[in-house]
Amino acid sequence: MRGQDLFEATYRTAVNLGIVTEGVATGGSVTTLADTRILTQAADYWNNGTLWLLRDSAEAAAAPEGEFARVTDFEASTDQLTLGPVSAGSGNAFTASAAAGDRYAVGKARYPVPLLIQKVNEALVRMGTIPITDTTTITTASSQTEYTMPIAANMDLREVWLQTKTGDTNDNQWEKIEDWDVQRTATGSADLLVIPRQLPVSRSLKLVYLDVHPSLDDASDVISESVHMDRVVMEATLGALIWRQQKVGAGDPSLRDQIGYYRTLLEPTKSTTPIRKPTRDKLLTLGSYVAEDEFTTPSA
C-alpha cells in the first residue's frame, strides 16, 4: 500500500469495483501516457476514465507517482491516453512527465474519478467523528480565564492540556487540565473555553476534540490515521455500487450480488477497525496548581 491518502483510497475502491487495468508505460508526458502492449483497445475506449500513476520507473517515489488524472481521449493509432487534471481549471494532468517504465492503472468511465472521490468522502463522514488535536489556536494571556476556541471544537471537546515547557518543540511536557468548562455562544460562533483560574502566560493550550473528517480533493490529501483504510475502501465501494444500481435499475442484476457481498464483508470490518476516541474525562480537581517557581508568574 502506497499511503493513507485519497490516491490510495480511490485506486483501491476502483480495483474492488472491477474497472481497473494495469500496465507499464512505454512513453508519456505531463498530459499523456502510452502503452503499446496493453492499451490496444478501440478508439475512445478509455475516454472519461481515470489514470493512477502507481510507481515511477526509477522506483524513487518521484512525481508523478501518487498522482491521478482524467482520461480526456484515447487514441487507438498510438495506444496513447490524453490526460487532464482532476480538479477544475487549466493546468497539466501531472506535475512531472510520465515516462517509459512507469507503472500505472487505468479505470473505465463506469465509475469516474469525481464519483470515487465523492464516495470516499461520504464513507469518511459515515464512519463518524475522529479525534483532532489543536496546539496553535489558544495561547494563555494575563488577566484572562476565557479563551475563544476553534469553532470546530464546539461540537465535542474532550481534553485540554497546558504546555509546561517552552523553547523546545519536541519537549512541551503537556499537563492535563481537568477543571475546564465550555461557555456556549451564538449558533455559528466559536464557543469559549473557561478555566476558573489564571494560567501561566504565553503557554499553548492543546485541545483534543471530535469532529467529522475534513473533505478530501487532491490525490495527496491525507486520511486521518484514526481511520483504517480497509474500512474506508469497503464503505466507498459499497456506496459506489449502490449509486450504480440506482442509475441502471434492473439493467445489471449482478449489482445486487456485489452489494450483498460487500455488505457481508463490511460488518466484521466495522468491529475490527473501530475509531479510537478519547473519553471525556473533565473533572474538578483541588490542589493541583503548579508552584510559582515553575512558571512565569501571571500579572494580577
In a domain, 26, yes or no: yes
Q: What are 266-289's pLDDT values in tens digits?
A: 999 988 999 999 887 655 444 444
The total of structural domains in the chain comes to 3
Instruction: Identify the band that residue 91 occupies on the pLDDT scale cut at 50, 70 and 90.
Output: confident
Looking at the structure, tell me whether residues 229 and 91 fall in a common domain.
no
In a domain, 103, yes or no: yes
Which residues form the domain of 183?
131-210
pLDDT at residue 120 in the model: 98
pLDDT at residue 55 in the model: 97
Pinpoint the alpha helices (H) of the chain: 6-16, 113-126, 229-248, 254-272
| 87, 221 Cβ separation under 8 angstroms | no
The answer to whether residue 265 scores a pLDDT higher than 90 is yes
**CATH number, position 28:** 2.40.30
Looking at the structure, tell me whether residues 202 and 61 fall in a common domain.
no
| 224, 187 Cβ separation under 8 angstroms | no
pLDDT at residue 112 in the model: 95
Looking at the structure, tell me whether residues 123 and 258 fall in a common domain.
yes
pLDDT at residue 48 in the model: 97
| 203, 163 Cβ separation under 8 angstroms | yes
Instruction: Identify the band that residue 1 occupies on the pLDDT scale cut at 50, 70 and 90.
Output: very low
Strand order in the sheet with 130-139: 130-139, 204-211, 157-163, 174-177
The answer to whether residue 297 scores a pLDDT higher than 90 is no
In a domain, 300, yes or no: no
Query: Helix (H) and strand (E) counts for the chain?
Result: 4, 14
Who wins on pLDDT, 259 or 300? 259
| 141, 150 Cβ separation under 8 angstroms | no
Q: How far is CA 134 from CA 1, 179, 206, 208, 225, in A?
A: 29, 19, 6, 7, 16
In a domain, 67, yes or no: yes
Looking at the structure, tell me whether residues 183 and 229 fall in a common domain.
no
Looking at the structure, tell me whether residues 158 and 78 fall in a common domain.
no
Looking at the structure, tell me whether residues 201 and 225 fall in a common domain.
no
| 69, 218 Cβ separation under 8 angstroms | no
Q: What are 202-247's pLDDT values in tens digits?
A: 999 999 999 999 999 999 999 999 999 999 999 999 999 999 999 9
Instruction: Identify the band that residue 293 occupies on the pLDDT scale cut at 50, 70 and 90.
Output: very low
pLDDT at residue 250 in the model: 84
In a domain, 277, yes or no: no
pLDDT at residue 156 in the model: 94
pLDDT at residue 90 in the model: 55
For residues 103-120, average pLDDT: 97
pLDDT at residue 282 in the model: 57
Looking at the structure, tell me whether residues 229 and 260 fall in a common domain.
yes
Q: CA 48 to CA 262: how far, in whole Å?
A: 26
pLDDT at residue 288 in the model: 42
The DSSP secondary structure of 65-127, one letter per residue, reads TT-EEEEEEEETTTTEEEEE-SSSSSS-SSSS---TT-EEEEE-TTS-HHHHHHHHHHHHHHT
In a domain, 198, yes or no: yes
For residue 59, the tally of other CB atoms under 10 A from its CB is 10
Task: State the residue for C-alpha cell 501531472.
Answer: 94
Looking at the structure, tell me whether residues 136 and 94 fall in a common domain.
no
